[in-house]
Amino acid sequence: MAEQDWKTSKRTFATVSTGPLFWTLVFFLVPMAFVWFYSFGRNVGLTEIEIVGTLDNYKRATEWLYLSIFLKSLAVAGLVTLICLIIGFPVAMAITFASEKWRPWLLLGIMLPFWTNLLIRTYALMIVLGQQGYVNQGLGAIWGGASWFKTLVGLQPLDTWEPLPLLYNNFAVVLGLVYVHLPFMVLPLYSALDRLDKSLIEASLDLGAGHFRTLMKIVVPLAAPGILAGVMITLIPALGAYLTPDLMGGTDSQMIANVIERQFKRANDWPFGAALSFLLIYAMFALIALQSLRRKTPVDAR
């Protein structure tokens, strides 16, 4: 029996979709509408906001101080996405071509971080990177061993080991965001690579193309939808990341989400915080629209 289209069974479709649509409307669209209205208001007291239709909050949000933070956040998110792509593509390739016995275990290793709270994972990474963390302790042991060896052979020993500043800077923010968002890149890449016709790769190698040329001419173009999906799924959450920059970043490592949080909580300036929030949302919508245009096929264009 042919599969029924939802247009021919509208009652069934309406029954199934009513619950999710109601949930989305009540718990997402309505609250977001209130925040959107706040962005056109102004404070008239400690807890009162008057909606006057002003654009002053948006004008203030485009000042260079906040615009520079937004551009920096976009640059950090872009760098995080690029690093995740460079690391995630070989990982996805390895999972795709792994044996049937090991593939579920490798996928489980990728999804395992989702089973642990983000706050706990972030604190665990901070313990590893701290001045007394495992990384600095390991490097200190290597440094001490090298100093002991130079002393043994009669050379000038090395200077005293100074722990590396691996926390509370831009490096820590980028590393933390890569650590958090890498699974979001690997899973779409694996989904795209797993659907590839392996015979095309074998034919390319048999014709003497070589592994690198086969990768660039066959694998990457065919996996382009998965690459675009992974880039968007990684870029958008990284752009709006709050917890990792707040815990692992220093005073010069804050991103736009941290500025928004301060407006709502510390400055008690909800209209300006709402304007910043929706500028971030508009930017994310623009990225999604660009992806939709890139994914348009020749059939769609006709």
Backbone CA torsion sign across 10, 11, 15, 18: positive
Backbone CA torsion sign across 198, 199, 200, 201: positive
- What is residue 149's predicted lDDT score, i.e. its pLDDT? 60
Question: Residue ranges of the domains in the chain?
Answer: 30-61+271-296, 72-130+166-265
**Helical axes 270-294 vs 224-239, angle rounded to 10°:** 170
- What is residue 127's predicted lDDT score, i.e. its pLDDT? 92
What residue ranges of the chain have pLDDT lower than 70? 1-8, 146-159, 161, 294-302
- What is residue 301's predicted lDDT score, i.e. its pLDDT? 40
- What is residue 195's predicted lDDT score, i.e. its pLDDT? 86
| Backbone dihedral angles phi then psi of residue 51, each to the nearest 5 degrees | -85, 110
* Residue 198: how many other CB atoms lie within 10 Å: 9
- What is residue 208's predicted lDDT score, i.e. its pLDDT? 80
- What is residue 68's predicted lDDT score, i.e. its pLDDT? 92
- What is residue 148's predicted lDDT score, i.e. its pLDDT? 64
In whole angstroms, give the CA distance from residue 166 to residue 175.
Answer: 10
- What is residue 2's predicted lDDT score, i.e. its pLDDT? 46
Q: Are 224 and 148 in contact (CB under 8 A)?
A: no
H-helix segments, the chain: 10-24, 30-38, 56-61, 64-96, 103-111, 118-129, 134-152, 170-194, 198-206, 211-214, 220-222, 224-239, 243-248, 256-265, 270-294, 298-301
Residue 61 tokens, joined: 């949000």
Domain at 72-130+166-265, CATH homologous superfamily: MetI-like (1.10.3720.10)
- What is residue 300's predicted lDDT score, i.e. its pLDDT? 43
In whole angstroms, give the CA distance from residue 291 to residue 80.
Answer: 18
Q: Are 181 and 236 in contact (CB under 8 A)?
A: no
User: How does pLDDT run across 205-215, given as a tens digit for each residue?
Assistant: 778 877 788 88
In whole angstroms, give the CA distance from residue 214 to residue 116.
Answer: 38
* pLDDT above 90 as % of the chain: 39
- What is residue 302's predicted lDDT score, i.e. its pLDDT? 38
Which of 267, 106, 258, 119 has the alpha carbon at shortest distance from 183? 106
- What is residue 275's predicted lDDT score, i.e. its pLDDT? 93
Q: Are 253 and 168 in contact (CB under 8 A)?
A: yes
Q: Who contacts 98 (Cβ-Cβ below 8 Å, separation ≥6)?
A: 106
SS3 78: helix
- What is residue 268's predicted lDDT score, i.e. its pLDDT? 86
